[in-house]
Structure 1
Amino acid sequence: MFDARIVADQVDTATRPKIRILFYTDLVGLSGNNGFALGILRELIVGNQPFFAQFEVELINRHEGGHAVNKLTADVLGRYEQVWFFGLLQCNMPGEPENELVDAEVAALRSWMDAGGGVFVSGDHSNPRPAGADPSLPDYLNLGRALGHRIPRAGELRVWNDRPDSSVEFSHNTHQPDPWGSDIDMPIPNDLDPYPQELILRKRAGRPHALFQGRRGPITVFPDHMHEGQLLIPERYPEDVWPTGRTGQPKPEIVARGTDKRNGQVYGVSSVYDGAAAGVGRIVADSTWHHYFDLNLWGFQKGGEVLDRLTEYYVNLVLWLTPKPVKQEVNTRLLHWLSHSLSVRAVLPEGFRVPGITAAGLVREVGGQGVLDDLVRPLEGAPRVPEDLLLGAVVKESVAALSGGDVEAFDTVGVVERGLRAGTEQYAAELRAALDELDGMDEFISQGLR
């Protein structure tokens, strides 16, 4: 995904920190199932991992080998930094009493997520309640509800018990019309064609969320589907569920939307919860697993622009969900690399800004804006000091720390702390100088205009 020539002779790939991802399912595997499979997604993630981390992806089917024999336990969760949920089943059924997560699993997930574990949750549209299911359940139940609706915090970010469904009247359809005029209410050929939906991205300070920032601009494409599910933003945030951090209580938000070409309605397709700001794990929720299944990726040319952009998004998703301890290992790798980069060292005498601008460009190239944010803005809610000042100061501290040659003694947290302090002090000095220049401006204006 990045140009390996800019890092090839400066890193040791054997010592990369591992980011272990679990695909947890109840029906789908890595192949087969008429394209309801995750093999291409896994290949894109593992085949495009950055030089500073090693991605490992495993799939566990809850029911492979017997009903609910592969439950989520503390031991299972402890083997992974992230869990991505791809459920299809709707609810418990006669003879299948544990399609849904049981209390012990919910408790294990809560502890693991509170310790920083990242969660991706998806589902799809709703179908009528299955025959034989508990009649007290709602009339419509979401595909994926069985695995998804009890996940702490994440389960509150999707509609599980109501429409939209798969009917033309009540569906959320994001199919992009093709040139030959196929009926966009039909799955084939639309799910298989090379025409993705165009996303509407939430932007702040002119930038989309880190998930949708690519190396060459915003990632504005997603696979499309004719009946997606619906995201949900909770109405209440009790602190025993949604904790508060140093600067307040982080809340989920929708960061990407899709458009129904039949009527112009806009639907949320991706939402995020930055739990790291409160010391817990991050969450991403998606309106449908069709944005990840083989069926909806087959139509995009390998090596083509659309699949490359989607790959950037999938890698961004892995990196953004990664817990803080592993991010610190990632930062160590990045700082070692930046400290030895001739592009950076050539401008190192130029204060903080110039080496910071150079280093920021390199980090975006190999890891994206989210990785850069986690390096120079590890303190959620801190004042917005320009990132070039912060990174330039951090890199200077890193070069100084490594100048003695003792790599084992390198203290990443200490280097970042000293760099952030130096960059902040420099910014404060610049602001004070700017204020001094404005001293007496009122009198100057009055005299100059009269």
Structure 2
Amino acid sequence: MLKPAEFLKDVMIHEAFQPQLKEWLKAWRLKTYVDILIVVDGGISISPNGGFGVGAVIDLIRSAEVGCMRFRIDLATRNGSTPQVIANPGPNGFKYTGFEFDMTDGGTDVIDKYEQIWCFGINPNTASTNDAIIDQASNNPTNDQELERLDQWMSEKKGGLFGTGDHHVLGASMCRKIPRLGTMRRWTNADGVPPVGSPDRIDTLRPPEPVANFQAGGPGSLSNGAHQGDLTVQPIRWTTWRSAYWPFPFRRKRPHPVLCHPTLGPIDVMPDHAHEGLCVNSPDLSATKQFNGDLEYPNAVGGGSKPEPQVIAFGSNLDSDDWNFSKGEQPGRTNNPMISVYDGHPADVGRVATDATWHHWMNVNIDQIKAADNDDWKKISRYFINLATWLNPPGFSTRCLYLSVVASHIEYPGFQEYYAKTPTLELGHVLRRHLKLYYGPCWVTERIWDLVWELELIPRKKLFDMRREFGRIDVDEEEFEALVLGKMVEATMKPAEQLKATINGDMKGLKALPVPEKLFAKPVAEALNAFAKDKRALMKVERDALASFKA
């Protein structure tokens, strides 16, 4: 774990308060760096300048900041060579070559060093309709021993896993048997993978201006060479993750946190490409793991609804009756499952995410959009960053909420709007606006529910369903969030005043804060009880009022 001195540089605090804050938080041990292992099949580049590769995304994640959270990335290739650990690979080099998921380094299992693993598979790179080639040794398929170790990591460490391939069987050798990932996306001919050509392909290319040139019978044709990397992106349809009817009669909808931009709203675009894959809309929840026969989707711990994968975005493609495609005819489609996620935390396993294609991630598809640095790039790049935040094991993201509450006392809110007699809700709304400004509303909502989950203030078998249904009832969710945050501010108000009094450097009497879980458990529980009491009273008033309407 990192000591305060190592992570305070990640918080925007005036240097005059740095020594005091280090003393204040000396009991805290918060690991604010997330370690990610990116595994690619041989043939996929990791260079920022390699067109057919994911180097630009790697650089983006390494430089990203989400609250106090930062990301460290190591790189591995499954290239068929003897497994080897490279001591000093450099930023654009592989730390592991001939990578296997059960390999060790100095007596330690390699994957245990990481909170997340991202898999970009291309083998077998073929248009064959024979699924048997997926398991040929030349394609470096993930064997049962590796899968057992990876399954153990997902269960014991709650590690988060992302994996994707492309059209046809590309990526199946690495990914198709990995728990959950193997059934959340189509990997084989038997699964009904889209081909590289024919009308059954998923061609999402969109025409640039002037569009008339690309209509049926026009002089131009939509082709990968010209259009997969241009500035014209494809629209996607996000699904509702949260909805609320407050204040009546307006209905507010939010996408899943993976598709939330802090300031631009829902992430509703992706790079386009002439042959994409597909996710699975409703995986078989009774499926068993292909390497040991155990249940692939475990039940929730302590009861409650079984966690299920959710398709959070759908793609579409244009009809060749209206547009001229170099790959030939295709029908228009509007519901292509594009991004799927699985929150395994209620079942005590790690989260999983998958994408229809790695062409949403490839340099060749994003370089021009990135260079333009327009709103499309801001949204697309945030999708990558959001995944790196969402896939974390339990506890990682709430650490930044803890630190944000503490830090707010010696930032603008604390100096200008926190006062001892300020009502709890007002304090909470001040902090909520502050956090929304930097991290967006989805971040705030997700962190607060994570906090309630991790502190176990509500029976977990009830909390999972409650969280899912919360926005569907007549409740002001912003008020709920403000009440929780306000109680957290109040819990740190007196210690913060003591800290501010040490501006002259005299830290005599400055006491270290208790560990976050001890400091905030009681205030958050008080917020939940107060909210429930208020809503019960409001419901009684509503029931009494409605009763008077009876004839």
The residue type equivalent to 1:124 in the other structure is D
What residue is the counterpart of 1:268 in the other structure? 337
Alignment deviations for residues 85-124 of structure 1 (CA, whole Å, 9 cap, x no partner): 101002557662x611011110111011113100111111
Q: Distance in 2 between matches of 1:185 and 1:118?
A: 37
Match of 1:29 among 30, 45, 48: 45
Distance 1:243 1:399, change over 3 A: farther
Q: Which residue of 1 aligns with 2:296?
A: 241
Give the structure 2 partner of residue 112 of structure 1. 153
SS at match of 1:298: helix
C-alpha contact (below 8 Å) 2:259/2:267 kept by paired residues: yes
- Paired AA for residue 321 in structure 1: L
Asked if the contact 1:196/1:224 (under 8 Å) is kept, the reply is yes
Q: Tell me how far apart the structure 1 counterparts of residues 410 and 13 of structure 2 sit (CA, whole Å).
A: 12
Aligned match for 1:187, one of 216, 219, 224 = 224
Q: How far did 1:347 drift?
A: 4.3
Q: What is the aligned counterpart of 2:143 among 81, 102, 105?
A: 102
1:438 is displaced (CA, Å) by 4.6
3-state SS of 2:535 partner: helix
The one-letter amino acid paired with 2:32 is: P
Which of 19, 24, 29 is matched with 2:34 structurally?
19
CA displacement at 1:398 relative to structure 2: 3.6
The answer on whether the counterparts of 1:166 and 1:227 sit within 8 Å (CA) in structure 2 is yes
Which shows bigger deviation, 105-114 or 227-236? Answer: 227-236
Q: Distance in 2 between matches of 1:123 and 1:33?
A: 21
User: Match for 2:295: what amino acid?
Assistant: D
Provide closer, same or farther for how the CA distance between residues 195 and 8 of structure 1 changes in structure 2, counting only shifts above 3 A. farther
The letter for the 2-side match of 1:70 is F
- Relative to structure 1, is the Cα distance of residues 430 and 165 closer, same or farther in structure 2, using a 3 angstrom cutoff? same
- Alignment partner of 2:117: what SS? strand
For residues 248 and 94 of structure 1, the distance between their equivalents in structure 2, rounded to whole angstroms, comes to: 39
Amino acid at match of 1:337: A
Tell me if the contact between 1:89 and 1:143 (Cα under 8 Å) persists in the aligned partners. yes
1:406-421 maps to which residues of 2 (within 5 A)? 408-421=512-525
Distance 2:530 2:48 in 1: 58
**How much has 1:397 moved relative to structure 2?**
2.1
- Note closer, same or farther for the CA distance 1:402–1:184 as it changes in structure 2 (3 Å cut): farther
Q: CA deviation at 1:360?
A: 2.2
* TM-superposition CA deviations, 1:330-364 (whole Å, max 9, x none): 33322322343332561454323222222223323
Distance between the aligned counterparts of 2:295 and 2:493, measured in 1?
A: 43
Do 1:344 and 1:355's aligned partners in 2 also have CA atoms closer than 8 Å? no
Change (3 A) 1:270 1:344: farther
Q: 2:491 is paired with a residue of what secondary structure?
A: helix
User: Given residue 227 of structure 2, which amino acid in structure 1 is its aligned partner?
Assistant: N
* Structure 2 CA distance for partners of 1:438 and 1:249, relative to 1, 3 Å: closer
How far apart in 2 are the matches of 1:407 and 1:22?
39
Give, as a single letter, the amino acid of the residue that structure 1 aligns with 2:194: P
Between stretches 390-399 and 38-47, larger displacement belongs to 390-399
Q: Indicate the SS of the match to 1:423.
A: helix
Q: CA deviation at 1:444?
A: 5.8
Contact kept, 8 Å, 1:352 with 1:393, in 2: the verdict is: yes
- Contact kept, 8 Å, 2:513 with 2:519, in 1: the verdict is no
72-81 vs 433-442, greater mean Cα deviation: 433-442
Comparing 396-405 with 159-168, which one deviates more in the overlay? Answer: 396-405
Shift of 1:8: 5.2
Change (3 A) 1:368 1:112: farther
| Aligned residues of 1:106 and 1:151 also touching (Cα < 8 A) | yes
SS in 2 for 1:360: helix
Structure 2: which 5+ runs fail to align? 1-8, 23-29, 84-96, 104-108, 125-132, 215-219, 244-252, 288-293, 320-331, 454-462, 471-476, 500-509
Give the Å deviation of 1:310: 1.6
8 A contact 1:30–1:37 mirrored in 2: yes
Evaluate the alpha carbon distance shift between residue 184 and residue 273 of structure 1 in structure 2; reply closer, same or farther with a 3 A threshold: farther
Deviates more, 1:399-408 or 1:342-351: 399-408
What letter matches 1:69 in structure 2? G
* In structure 2, C-alpha distance between the alignment counterparts of 1:16 and 1:387, rounded to whole Å: 25
The 8 Å contact of residues 123 and 145 in structure 1, kept in 2 or not, is answered as: yes
Q: Report % sequence identity.
A: 23
The residue aligned with 1:426 is: 530
Report if the CA contact (8 A) 1:168-1:185 is conserved: no
Matching residue's letter, 1:363: L
Indicate conservation of the 8 Å contact 2:309/2:343, yes or no: yes
Compared CA separation, residues 347 and 22, structure 1 to 2 (3 A): same
- Structure 1 partner of 2:64: 48
Change (3 A) 1:436 1:250: closer
**Residues 206 and 222 of structure 2 are in contact (CA less than 8 Å); yes or no, is this contact kept in structure 1?**
no
* Structure 1 residue 286, shift from structure 2 partner: 0.4
Cα gap change, 1:184 to 1:394, in 2 (>3 Å): farther
Could you say if the C-alpha distance between residues 47 and 440 of structure 1 is closer, same or farther in structure 2, counting changes exceeding 3 Å? closer
Q: For the structure 1 residues 248 and 444, does the alpha-carbon distance in structure 2 shift closer, same or farther, using more than 3 Å as the test?
A: closer
- The question of 1:122 aligning with 2:164 is answered yes
TM-score by length of 2: 0.71
Q: Distance in 1 between matches of 2:538 and 2:334?
A: 47
Q: Aligned with 1:120: secondary structure?
A: strand
In 2, the alpha carbon distance for the partners of 1:408 and 1:417 equals: 17
- 1:270 CA drift (Å): 0.5
Aligned length: 428
Contact 2:67 2:404 in 1 (8 A): no
2:385 maps to amino acid: V
Q: Which residue of 2 aligns with 1:285?
A: 354
Instruction: Give the match for residue 70 of structure 1.
Output: 99
* CA drift at 1:226: 1.4
* SS in structure 2 at match of 1:35: coil
Q: What RMSD, in angstroms, separates the aligned Cα atoms of the two structures?
A: 3.0
Per the alignment, residue 319 of structure 1 pairs with 389
**For residues 137 and 11 of structure 2, what CA distance do their matches in structure 1 show?**
57
Give the match for residue 460 of structure 2.
Answer: none
User: Which position in structure 2 is the counterpart of 1:7?
Assistant: 12
Structure 2 residue corresponding to 1:176, chosen from 190, 197, 206: 206
| Contact 1:331 1:412 survives alignment (8 Å) | no
Map 1:146-161 onto structure 2 (within 5 A).
146-161=173-188
Contact 2:314 2:334 in 1 (8 A): no
Structure 2 residue 158 is matched with structure 1 residue 89: no
Q: Does 1:294 align with 2:363?
A: yes
Three-state SS of the structure 2 residue aligned to 1:230 is coil
The farther-off stretch of 288-297 and 382-391 is 382-391
Q: 1:264 to 1:434 in 2, by over 3 A?
A: same
Query: Does structure 2 conserve the Cα–Cα contact (< 8 Å) formed by 1:16 and 1:54?
Result: no
Counterpart-to-counterpart distance in 1, 2:49 and 2:544: 74
Compared with structure 1, are the counterparts of its residues 424 and 103 closer, same or farther at alpha carbon in structure 2 (3 Å cutoff)? same
Q: Secondary structure at the match of 1:55?
A: strand
Q: Structure 1 residues 178, 66: closer, same or farther in 2, change over 3 A?
A: farther
